[in-house]
Amino acid sequence: MFTQKWRTSERKHEVIVERDMRIPVRDGTVLAGDLFRPAAEGKFPVILGAHPYNCEIQTAPLRPIGYGNLRGYIEAGDPAFLVRRGYVQAVINVRGTGKSQGQFQMMGPLEVQDVCDVIQWLAAQPWSDGNVGMFGVSYFAWLQIQVAALNPPHLKAIFAPWGATDFYRDVFYHGGILAHGFLRHWSLNWDNPRPISWYREKMGEKQYRKAIDAALRDEDIVAVADLRQVLENPDKGKNPAVVDVILNSLDGEYYAERNVDYSDARTPAFLGACWGMYGLHLPGAFRTWKHWKGPKKMAISPPLYLDRPVFQYQYESLRWFDCWLKGIDNGVMDEPPVRLFIPGTGEWKTASDWPLPETRWTPFYLHAGALLSEHELWPNEGSDSFEDSTFVHGELTYWTPKLVENTELIGPVPLHLYASSSDAEMFVFATLLHMDARGEVHELTRGWLRGSQRALRADSEDWEPIPAHTKREPLEPGKIYELRFSMVSTARLFLAGER
């Protein structure tokens, strides 16, 4: 869709495949992976991808199909595409997975250090010209962003869309609420994982067992059979990594070690996600855009996730690497840095920054009686309430009147509530909905907050309240509390007559 006038490296090479490549890192651990290079003399730039999944399936010559559980973790792309156009591509297992030695750290600091060592090794090989890039989505992208923030000297650029950057908020605890469904599903896809428990190493055996016993007394946790079974068998298979997430239920050192340090992030970075992955990747794209100090581009695509194997961004990645690894002046950095697909229009929008500079921040108010309106609250308006239980989940829904003109909603969606509960805890799930002219309802985005974790971080802004999630303060039943959090940024053209 963007490629008709692009100048990119031509396809002209056959592909040599070298399986089970071995790469040593500084502590003597040997990592394993596959190498794909042009069947030609000379030196070429190298593209690296690192992951915890099955390496052979990552690069299998499969016809792309829509995203699903069967292939959801095939995230490396098609190595042959770049190799035929003058690149070497390496796809490796991180330590403690697949055929790589060591113990799995799940994005820990040693894993990031390993990738820096691999970049150095690749740059020194006889078929390498010393310039290295990184490519891949999801886990591949998460790791890319962490590595690139350290600015390894031979790493010239990353192509890292669909990359979460805050493991607590983006991945495991939405608003402080454990996202156990993703945790269970994702861990099933790790290949031959050999994790160690961070909590046990850090706190010692006695405190580790004490924390597990406490978790087994938590009704919310043991109500989920898979979580209970993991805690009852904490040393089995992949369980140590899952136990670490359960035991680290507040933001702290465990997550800080796995989050991106943006303080000196200067490596050229192509970022992005899709509007539909607001519960995993989308927040990381916007966070990285905000804090990244080096050259950057960002594309937010339609709500559907990428096919597997990934092919949709082949030419965009090729153009990006041609610029930064081959030094080709192809104009990629002369174009607007932000591209957004706007649902409801079928078209893309370009911008100079995010949030869009022309944004008009417009407050809407939740009125008693299910009305969502720009009109400020009326005096003595009252409140709404609902009953909620384990068996029947209550809710409140507020709609605008039918819109009188076409209206674009593009950007962050902060939420400011006053609420009370008859319990000492509340889980707030907020969903932004779109009702079309036929009366059909579509979900646009969501936000979450655990009421006892309502305290905000000091770097919060009006348009971006960020709960700290570093402590729990139980609610006093019946007391009204101020709750500020965000639904994940979204975009939609609402047509006149829609709500």
Is the pLDDT at 3 greater than 60? The verdict is no
Q: What are the residues facing 188 on neighbouring strands? A: none
Instruction: Give the percent of the chain with pLDDT over 70.
Output: 99
Is the pLDDT at 1 greater than 70? The verdict is no
Q: What integer pLDDT is reported at residue 73 of this predicted model?
A: 86
Q: What integer pLDDT is reported at residue 4 of this predicted model?
A: 58
| Per-residue confidence band for 391, with pLDDT thresholds at 50, 70 and 90 | confident
Calculate mean pLDDT across residues 115-123.
99
Tokens 């978790």 locate to: 215
Is the pLDDT at 2 greater than 70? The verdict is no
* Interval 451-468: pLDDT, tens: 999 999 999 999 999 999
| Per-residue confidence band for 306, with pLDDT thresholds at 50, 70 and 90 | confident
CA-based nearest residue to 34, from 64, 71, 69, 78: 78
* Interval 207-252: pLDDT, tens: 999 999 999 999 999 999 999 999 999 999 999 999 999 999 999 9
* Interval 166-208: pLDDT, tens: 999 999 999 999 999 888 889 889 999 999 999 999 999 999 9
Whole-number mean pLDDT of the chain? 95
* Interval 11-45: pLDDT, tens: 999 999 999 999 999 999 999 999 999 999 999 99
Structural domains in the chain, sorted by start: 15-165+260-351 (3.40.50.1820), 183-254 (no CATH), 365-494 (2.60.120.260)
Is the pLDDT at 432 greater than 80? The verdict is yes
* Interval 334-349: pLDDT, tens: 999 999 999 999 999 9
Least confident of 48-62, 74-88, 381-395: 381-395
